[in-house]
Amino acid sequence: QVQLVESGGGLVQAGGSLRLSCAASLRTFSTYVMGWFRQAPGKEREFVAAISWNGGFTYYADAVKGRFTISRDNAKKMVYLQMNSLLLEDTAIYYCAAALGGVVTRRENEYSFWGQGTQVTVSS
């Protein structure tokens, strides 16, 4: 059974940092594109960042570019999202997702597996 389990969410003041982690039980983790998405209250889920199978290519939403960094450790089957200079509008549930195939994409329907999410709340 495939599982993606996020951790590292919490409450942080604006301007602060958090590091999200996602542990994957995918047998062939290194063949998957991994992504982070988020859903703020009352809004649709949106793309945050994605990373290629070997970490050589990353892709960010404009809203987080320069502040967030996605990375992965294939040996540990982990993907991370380092979030710096957090803004109030970064408050959301953050989801880890896995897409089989080589294309680094922001399209949700390309991702086959999803975690349950971790809450990030940024306060003033």
Res. 2: pLDDT tops 90: no
Query: What distances in angstroms separate CA 110 from CA 34, 41, 51, 103, one per listed residue?
Result: 11, 24, 14, 9
Q: Looking at this protein, which amino acid is placed at residue 71?
A: S
CA 117 to mean position of chain CA atoms: 9
Mind listing the pLDDT tens digit for each residue in 30-87? 999 999 999 999 999 999 999 999 999 999 999 999 999 999 999 999 999 999 999 9
pLDDT band of 91, cuts 50, 70, 90: very high
- The answer to whether 70 touches 36, Cβ cutoff 8 Å, is yes
CA 101 to mean position of chain CA atoms: 17
